[in-house]
Amino acid sequence: MATIAHGDHGHHEESFLEKYIFSQDHKMIARQFLFTGIFWSLVGAAMSVLFRLQLGWPNETFPFLETLLGKWAEGGRISNEFYYSLVTMHGTILVFFVLTAGLSGTFANLLIPYQIGARDMASPFMNMLSYWFFLLAGLLMLFSLFLQTGAASGGWTMYPPLSGIRDAKVNAGSMWGTDLWFFSMSMFIVSSLLGGLNYIATILNLRTKGMTMWRLPLPVWALLFTAILGVLAFPPLLSAALLLEFDRIFDTSFYLSDIVVGGNLLDYKGGSPILYQHLFWFLGHPEVYIIILPAFGITSEVLSVNSRKPVFGYKAMVYAIGIIVLLGFLVWAHHMYMSGMNPFLGSIFTLFTLLIAVPSAVKVFNWLTTIWKGNLRLTPAMMFALGFVSLFISGGLTGLFLGNSAIDIPLHDTYFVVAHFHIVMGVAAFFAMFAGVYHWFPKMFGRYINDTLGYVHFYATIISAYAIFIPMHFMLSLPRRYYVFSNYQTFNIFEDVSKFISVFAIISFMAQILFVVNIVYSALKGRKFTSENLNPWGSNTLEWTTPAEHLHGNWPGEIPEVYRWPYDYSTGHGDTDFRPQTEPLQEGEEAH
Amino acid sequence: MLNILLTLAVIILFYTVALFLGGIVERVRALKGEELDYTKNNQTHGKLFLIYGIFFLLMFAFSFKYMDFASLPKAASNWGVEIDELFVITAWITGIIFVITHIALFYFVWKYRGEKDKKATFFAHSSTLELVWTSIPALAMAVLVVMGLKTWFNVFPNKKTLPANQLTIEATGKQFNWMLRYPGPDGVFGKRVLSKEFVSPDNELGIDWTDPASHDDFFASELYMVKGRPVRFNLGALDVLHSFYLPHFRMKMDCVPGVPTGIGFTPTMTDDETRELLKSNSHWASIDPETNEPRYVKFNYELACAELCGKSHYGMMMPAHVVSQSKFEEWTKTQKPFFEVNKDKIQAWLAARNLSTSTSKGGNDHAAFNGEDTTKKDIKPDSNYTKVESATHNIADNKAMEGKQ
């Protein structure tokens, strides 16, 4: 069972454990990240369905919820404490476990060695550790759901003092649930650093002969910048988490001061909750670029291959990502305009935040020009990449409202924010992830995915996603994280809209199950990806020069040499409309 | 239980049928040898995506009309009006970009859907184009930044000048309600001392009862402001973060334990004036089945919490009102100072500590509270509570405050 095809460079028999569990092979680790990510996205999405039931039908009871959740849904209605645990866990799981680890982990592992022409990561062992720390982080978070006092419920940002006072009277989720949240995040940060350092080292050192930096496919560029961001941004979160645990366990006062609970003044003196927010968002903002940059890369690649055209403005795309990374470190406090920090800071962060719109706009225009005058092959992957462009435009534009500190005064912490970030870094990043899975499915699983179900998945998802989030923009006066809002005459007018959104949330969830069913079924029973056609999409990049079956070391013989950039599509030379990177320049051809 | 099982069975059946149907379509494509030939799919989905796009843009336009009832009435504060203008300008700029880019996207997909013998145009780079679409967004952003910062510095001026006849209100958030303290007729808040001696379940704010200025301070159960009279909120929180949010005034500011914050504006619309506006709103003009009256009759402004503060975060609602100066004065007369109401308790507390209350300052401060010019008086709106234990602490606070005015 554990025999694999042999090349000529030191393959050995692998036991089941070595091959499937403690694997050090980048392709297997990519699939481990993918499946763990899928597990977490189902958990996170199911949570959103649960709290959408409460928001859509606040006055109804669902007896099955009590059967399922016991004391958290007495009488068939989710309790407010559990509701806050759900929104906290939904955010944490989706942002970190799915869109960071699931997206970056999967595609960095799959694409970096393949596309730069390396046999594996610089340190396969570190790569394995990265996955196992991620799994550990997930298990800790999973345990916290079964605590007597409930999982963390301070919102995914975990602002103190709500998360800092270890007192069930203040917040039940601030007991062990919060400790586990921070322990889990610490493990996650370790995983992310192990992965990130490895990706950077691999891309810089293990490129094959001829693979200069300016010949790297865009996903690799994007993943390189993502890794740099992660390595620089995650450590501050670790320190923030440590200091908060000190406040919680040893009664230090890093973030807490002058706190009165139940009429009793606590002993904390001199700390500032705003310090935590600075440390958190110093990661938290780059984090959204950690999520969206791989999505940029995947989209650029899928659009180019399926338009049969080079990606427009390749270098501009790389520079745009670079500028976004740079500015990404200078905008964190735009999450804090209303936090009580010095308003003068708000003006500086407004400037940098709106500046980011420039490279982002360049990327959008370049994508549109990439498909312009193309010969579009509308595979499900291509549909999702096109959907990504639409979502990124829609969600990016609303950022111009929120990034402008003056407009943010009324909009901060309302449904407008929820709509904005769900579209631009939630749904959009998911679309890129879907595009990637559909596009590289044959490479990952040796079989083709079912296209028909892919199209159904696409339309169901894009329609329901917009049906959920466009109405939310109009709920711009309603503060987020409200368990009910019928007690306000200002907000109770949103009850019908909320119901509408909940219906589409359920539809969207059903569509994602279809996707998972499709993956599992196609990976086991789909049409085989055979050596007769190793390059089904007519792609220039190196991953399509490897054999159909997975090989430890990727290429059976020598690693291919690279002679050109990856986007020579429809150049007019040769008999096909693509010129793989391994093909030397012909006479009359110009290098890019 | 049976219901759950049945539902599960139906769901599983649904996905099985979907898999089966999807499988058949793929099988047919494979039989025809077209499994990697997307020519037919390109035709179908190029058109379908365009139809979807038209539908999408129509729904987007329609949602503005449909959701019209949900928009808040005209902003009821001076800054609110300015912020709304900025919002509308941004909405136009982004709306135009949104529509143009989406039309391009849907049109290109339909127009350039793949065909067998068509060739894509090799077009990899154009300095001119890239320069154009770098500089246009840059210009648009410059305009937005300049306009935004102008408003921002209006709301939070760098130099602090106390507006004449400013009404100062202290709002403190706690789980799960607001404590609104008015300074009373003397226009001065009683000092607060955050020490274990002063803070107790009966006196959560740690008000210093030996300070005569505290004797006429009253707590209000509804927020009252005066039309045309600048109002300033000194914000704080007892336990966790809260956020003082007045949606109708487009105003918001976090309340942070240990860090005093504040926000100020001038209310411009009384309750009645906004009620009048709401008559033309389909929701507010409709009949409330409970009272058999149009809804706008019962309209009032509301104060909400906008920062997650625990399990009853959504419950921190407090009605708010904007009234004329004379009505405001009438209202203040009905409000009993906390000191008066709890006199026995407070006296006992003072006696137990061998403290006494100094004599009250008398009536001439009445003017400040009733809207006359108070700028000449030494009122420090934000420094109305002191912290006993650390002197350095106070310096830090003052610094923070300077920035925040």
Q: Which of A253, A256, A255, A259 is nearest to A276 (CA)?
A: A255
Residue B145, SS3?
Answer: helix
pLDDT band at A13 (very low <50, low <70, confident <90, very high): low
* Over residues A346-366, mean pLDDT: 95
Rg (CA), chain A: 24
Give yes or no: residues B230 and B351 share one domain. yes
* Over residues A558-581, mean pLDDT: 92
Question: Is B332 inside a domain boundary?
Answer: yes
Give yes or no: residues B212 and B331 share one domain. yes
Structure confidence at residue A17 (pLDDT):
78
Question: Is B31 inside a domain boundary?
Answer: no
How many folded domains does chain B comprise? 2
Considering only the beta carbons, identify the residue of A80, A406, A513 that sits closest to B152.
Answer: A406
- Per-domain residue ranges of chain A: 28-545
Chain B partners within 8 Å of A479 (Cβ): 243, 245, 304-306, 314
Residue-wise pLDDT tens digits, A51-75: 999 999 999 999 889 988 989 999 9
Residue in chain A nearest B67 by alpha carbon: A474
The answer on pLDDT for A559 being more than 90 is yes
CB-based contact B298 A376, cutoff 8 Å: no
Structure confidence at residue A130 (pLDDT):
96
Chain A partners within 8 Å of B259 (Cβ): 257, 272-274, 340
Look up the CATH number of the domain holding residue B189: 2.60.40.420
Q: Who's near A520: CB < 8 A, 6+ residues apart?
A: none
User: Percent of chain A having pLDDT more than 90?
Assistant: 88
Question: What's this model's pTM, rounded to 2 decimal places?
Answer: 0.93
Give yes or no: residues B246 and B281 share one domain. yes
Q: Which of B333, B371, B401 is nearest to B187 (CA)?
A: B371
Residue-wise pLDDT tens digits, A258-286: 999 999 999 999 999 999 999 999 999 99
Question: Is B29 inside a domain boundary?
Answer: no
* A72, A397, A457, best to mutate vs chain B, most B CBs in 10 Å: A397
Give yes or no: residues B251 and B149 share one domain. no
Give yes or no: residues B314 and B177 share one domain. yes
Give yes or no: residues B91 and B198 share one domain. no
Structure confidence at residue B358 (pLDDT):
61
Under 8 Å between Cβ of B240 and B257: yes
Give yes or no: residues B280 and B204 share one domain. yes
Structure confidence at residue B393 (pLDDT):
35
Chain A partners within 8 Å of B59 (Cβ): 466, 470
ipTM: 0.93
Considering only the beta carbons, identify the residue of A309, A378, A414 that sits closest to B121.
Answer: A309
Structure confidence at residue B391 (pLDDT):
34
The answer on pLDDT for A178 being more than 80 is yes
The C-alpha atoms of residue B341 and residue B56 are separated, in whole angstroms, by 61
The C-alpha atoms of residue A204 and residue A198 are separated, in whole angstroms, by 10
Q: Which of B35, B13, B45 is nearest to A457 (CA)?
A: B45
The C-alpha atoms of residue A591 and residue B1 are separated, in whole angstroms, by 67
Give yes or no: residues B299 and B224 share one domain. yes
Q: State the pairing for strand pair B261-265/B287-288.
A: unpaired
Residues of chain B with pLDDT under 50: 359-368, 371-405
Q: Which range marks the domain in which residue B194 is found?
A: 168-371+382-404
The answer on pLDDT for A592 being more than 60 is yes
Considering only the beta carbons, identify the residue of A162, A374, A378 that sits closest to B309.
Answer: A162
Structure confidence at residue A401 (pLDDT):
96
Give yes or no: residues B188 and B82 share one domain. no
CB-based contact B138 A474, cutoff 8 Å: no
Q: Sign of torsion, CA A259 A263 A267 A269?
A: positive
The C-alpha atoms of residue A127 and residue A133 are separated, in whole angstroms, by 10
CB-based contact A375 B120, cutoff 8 Å: yes
List the Cα angle A213/A219/A223 in 5-degree steps: 85
* A349, A375, A530, best to mutate vs chain B, most B CBs in 10 Å: A375
Structure confidence at residue B379 (pLDDT):
39
Question: Is B324 inside a domain boundary?
Answer: yes
Considering only the beta carbons, identify the residue of A262, A378, A386 that sits closest to B38.
Answer: A378
Give yes or no: residues B153 and B294 share one domain. no
Question: Is B238 inside a domain boundary?
Answer: yes
Chain B partners within 8 Å of A455 (Cβ): 41, 45
pLDDT band at A306 (very low <50, low <70, confident <90, very high): very high
Size (chain B), residues: 405
Question: Is B79 inside a domain boundary?
Answer: yes
Q: How many angstroms separate the CA of residue A204 from the nearest CA in chain B?
A: 26
Question: Is B2 inside a domain boundary?
Answer: no
Give yes or no: residues B146 and B196 share one domain. no
CB-based contact A259 B112, cutoff 8 Å: no
Structure confidence at residue A12 (pLDDT):
61
Chain A partners within 8 Å of B206 (Cβ): 260, 265
List the Cα angle B332/B334/B335 in 5-degree steps: 65
Q: Which of B85, B152, B401 is nearest to A347 (CA)?
A: B152
Chain A partners within 8 Å of B152 (Cβ): 343, 346-347, 350, 405-406
Give yes or no: residues B314 and B397 share one domain. yes
Residue B279's alpha-carbon distances to B272, B290, B322, in angstroms, are 11, 18, 18
Structure-token pair, residue B64: 């503005």
Question: Is B260 inside a domain boundary?
Answer: yes
Q: How many angstroms separate the CA of residue B366 from the nearest CA in chain A?
A: 32
Q: Which CATH class is domain A28-545?
A: mainly alpha
Structure confidence at residue A157 (pLDDT):
95
The C-alpha atoms of residue A102 and residue A100 are separated, in whole angstroms, by 6
